[in-house]
Amino acid sequence: MSSHHDPYSGLEAQIESNVPDDLSVSRVTYEGPELVIYTETPRLFADRDGIVPQLAKTFRKRITIRPAPGTQTEPADAEPQIRDLIPEDAGITDLEFFSTTGEVVIEAEKPGLVIGRHGSTLNEITKEVGWTPDVLRTPPMESSTVANVRNYLVTERDERREILERVGEHIHREPQSDEDWVRITTLGCCREVGRASFVLSTPETRVLVDCGDKPGADGEVPYLQLPEANPVADLDAVVLTHAHLDHSALLPLLFKYGYDGPVYMTAPTRDLIGLLQLDYLDVAAKEGRTPPYDSEMVREELTHTITMDYGNVTDIAPDIKLTMHNAGHILGSAVAHFHVGDGRHNVVFSGDVHYTDTRLFNGAVNDFPRAETLVMESTYGRRNDYQTDQEDSERTLIDRISQTYENDGTVVIPAFAVGRSQELMLVLEEAMRTGRLPTMPIYLDGMIREATAIHTAYPEFLRDGLRQRILHDDENPFLAAQFQQVDGGDEMRQDIADGEPAIILSTSGMVTGGPIMSWLELLGGDPDNALVFVGYQAEGTLGRRIQGGNREIHLTDRDGNTNRMTLRFTIESVSGFSGHADRNGLENFVRTMNPRPEEILCVHGDESATDQLSSALYQNFDCRTYAPRNLETYRLA
């Protein structure tokens, strides 16, 4: 990541010639993809309407204006002035000054009121005190993850700035190669679900997309030791499509291997991996496995994160621009669009997608100016992988719960902490509120409540109607009284199992460990109870085996003894709640693209799923399609 090219020579002069004479430009630097302009006259910049958008347009960069040190009002004087400018209703919960960058971070319950119409209040603040405001939302539900991540990033602010400046210089380096090609190498996730990991490479740049584990196959990790990815330290960028562990679990390992560059993702993905990766280490420790990295590496990763909003075109290398779009799969999940070599080629990694709208999210975006190559998930790619409409699915689920309730039984639903749990919470809350389901306790076990709180910190990533409801306490469905956290350990679980009919949402979603194992033990022996699968169960997981009809299972107790158990409760799968597009949705994703891709790589599915989807897309859309194997390299251009 070294460069002998000074990206700032000339740039400062160019910027000066693009702003009126009375505005000073004292220093120019890149922080990651962003162009940062320090000025002795921050108030005049704030006063000049449209100057920043105009610079952004001219230089085709994200632009940030910061006051040069010493130009601002002293924090002690500035704070009351700022509080005066912001309406009381905004609910400021924190306000902190950072003198090295001239920024004031304002955390508030209603950030919109801090920002003002078209940013008018922010402008007023800068004009008045000279500081650049940075606004964060105070989560409506308290989230220790959001708080921890924010606190950590505050303490690392100076180190982060150094990293961002280094990354910025690397991104804007002079291209070295006169070669001209684009390739994708598969490090995992081909003809299998799990260990998502791909290298997108050009003569100039190597980008790693995702770095996950494989549920139910602990030792099978991405082939990072391949020369195409190795040395990991030499990668130019890492892009994470979403927080699920089969895409993110081994990302901190990169830092153990010496990687020191940026990791691009959405802000909610950053917070969610903070939650999920630390839990991943926790589970490994509890199960007596040596995790491949420790929590220090998770912190390294956070320090190197650059967050992206949906739709923002961002330089991540001299020859690659990245845009993330809503994928509809989980909070912050993204379809990643790479624009390579000034239009030479465009590659889309779908990540995991849900094509239609759900209660939580709008359907996945598939509208790109150009996309010659599509790397497409295939989880439900088989010929018959059709799911029922969500309306039907909800009816089935409610019927099943009602029956179990009438039998005086309890329903347990294995669910990912992130995604399906929140979708189900919305379904169940509404069903109880409208009387379609008797009101009964809904216990959240594992990290579901915490993951839910993270959702409420990022309402702008949720579906339109839901966003509004969350921002009003009395309407926030996640705060309904029947949701109760299982925070009393096995004793509480025993009480719940012995008590009145209830619903339990518990991790892990594929029954590979976590509290769901206790629930199998506590509820599995009684035919009046029910286990309901609502999500995809990957090959090799216990969930898949139970779903496939296996009733004899082995459970390990806390003393390490293995006990055999026969499952006698009702076991049912209700489709239609998956975070993944079904076969129909996958085909529609491609069908409605305009223009359609010239070639499609079908990944992230069992062998039959990737094969059958590949055949179908080839026949229907007359493009080249492949079901790659791991360890292959495809030349795109």
Binding site members: 242, 244, 246-247, 329, 352, 604
Residue type at position 597 = P
Binding positions for a second copy, 218-257, rule CB under 8 A? 227-228, 230
Least distance in Å: CB of 320 to a second copy?
A: 17
Least distance in Å: CB of 428 to a second copy?
A: 45
Shorter beta-carbon distance to a second copy: residue 230 or 402: 230
Judging by beta carbons within 10 Å of its beta carbon (0-12, 13-18, 19+), is residue 595 exposed, middle or buried?
exposed
Structure tokens belonging to residue 390: 């969500």
Least distance in Å: CB of 228 to a second copy?
A: 5
Report the residue from 132, 185, 390, 537 that binds a second copy according to the rule CB under 8 A. Answer: 185
Contact segment (CB under 8 A) with a second copy among 181-189, 259-267, 532-540, 602-610 equals 181-189
User: What are the CA-CA distances from residue 432 to residues 358, 398, 469, 475 (Å)?
Assistant: 19, 10, 17, 14
Eight-class DSSP state of 597 = P
Shorter beta-carbon distance to a second copy: residue 508 or 630: 630
Specify whether the CB–CB gap between 111 and 91 falls below 8 A. Answer: no
For the chain, the helix, strand and coil percentages under 3-state DSSP, each to the nearest 5? 35, 20, 45
What spatial distance separates the first Cα and last Cα of the chain, rounded to whole Å? 25
Least distance in Å: CB of 234 to a second copy?
A: 9
Alpha-carbon gap, residue 347 to 148, rounded angstroms: 35
Least distance in Å: CB of 27 to a second copy?
A: 37
The dihedral sign for the CA sequence 427, 432, 436, 441: positive
Alpha-carbon gap, residue 413 to 508, rounded angstroms: 10
Report the residue from 152, 181, 257, 621 that binds a second copy according to the rule CB under 8 A. Answer: 181
Shorter beta-carbon distance to a second copy: residue 179 or 559: 179
Least distance in Å: CB of 377 to a second copy?
A: 20
Binding positions for a second copy, 601-630, rule CB under 8 A? 629-630
Least distance in Å: CB of 629 to a second copy?
A: 4
Shorter beta-carbon distance to a second copy: residue 370 or 629: 629
Report the residue from 154, 285, 481, 631 that binds a second copy according to the rule CB under 8 A. Answer: 631
Cα 634 to its chain centre, rounded Å, is 27
- 211 closest CA partner among 237, 191, 183: 237
Site track for a second copy across 495-534, x = CB under 8 A: ----------------------------------------
Shorter beta-carbon distance to a second copy: residue 226 or 555: 226
Least distance in Å: CB of 327 to a second copy?
A: 28
Shorter beta-carbon distance to a second copy: residue 152 or 181: 181
Alpha-carbon gap, residue 469 to 467, rounded angstroms: 6
Q: Cα angle at 62 between 315 and 39, to 5 degrees? A: 130
Binding positions for a second copy, 557-596, rule CB under 8 A? none
Cite the beta strand spans of 291-361 per DSSP E.
305-307, 314-317, 320-326, 334-340, 345-349
Shorter beta-carbon distance to a second copy: residue 612 or 630: 630
How many residues appear in the chain?
637
DSSP string, 511-566: SSSSTHHHHHHHHTT-TTSEEEE-S---TTSHHHHHHTT--EEEEE-TTS-EEEEE
Shorter beta-carbon distance to a second copy: residue 250 or 586: 250
What does the buried/exposed string (b/e) look like for 432-444 if buried means 16 or more CB atoms within 10 Å of the residue's CB? beeeebeebbbbb
632 binds a second copy (CB under 8 A): yes
Paired strand residues for 601: 375, 626
- 46 closest CA partner among 71, 12, 74: 71
Q: Cα angle at 428 between 579 and 483, to 5 degrees? A: 105
Q: Which residues are annotated as a binding site for Zn(2+)?
A: 242, 244, 246-247, 329, 352, 604
Least distance in Å: CB of 535 to a second copy?
A: 30
Least distance in Å: CB of 187 to a second copy?
A: 12
Shorter beta-carbon distance to a second copy: residue 158 or 632: 632
Contacts of 622 (CB under 8 A, 6+ apart): none
Least distance in Å: CB of 183 to a second copy?
A: 6
Residues that bind a second copy (rule: CB under 8 A) add up to a total of 13
- 418 closest CA partner among 293, 533, 274, 520: 274
Eight-class DSSP state of 475 = G
Residue type at position 351 = G
633 binds a second copy (CB under 8 A): yes
Shorter beta-carbon distance to a second copy: residue 556 or 633: 633
Least distance in Å: CB of 387 to a second copy?
A: 32
- Cβ atoms within 10 A of the Cβ of 70, count? 9
> Which H or E element spans position 506?
strand 503-506
Cite the beta strand spans of 153-201 per DSSP E.
183-188, 197-201
Shorter beta-carbon distance to a second copy: residue 153 or 226: 226
Shorter beta-carbon distance to a second copy: residue 150 or 624: 624
Contact segment (CB under 8 A) with a second copy among 143-151, 179-187, 340-348, 506-514 equals 179-187
**Site of interaction with a second copy (CB under 8 A):** 181, 183, 185, 227-228, 230, 629-635
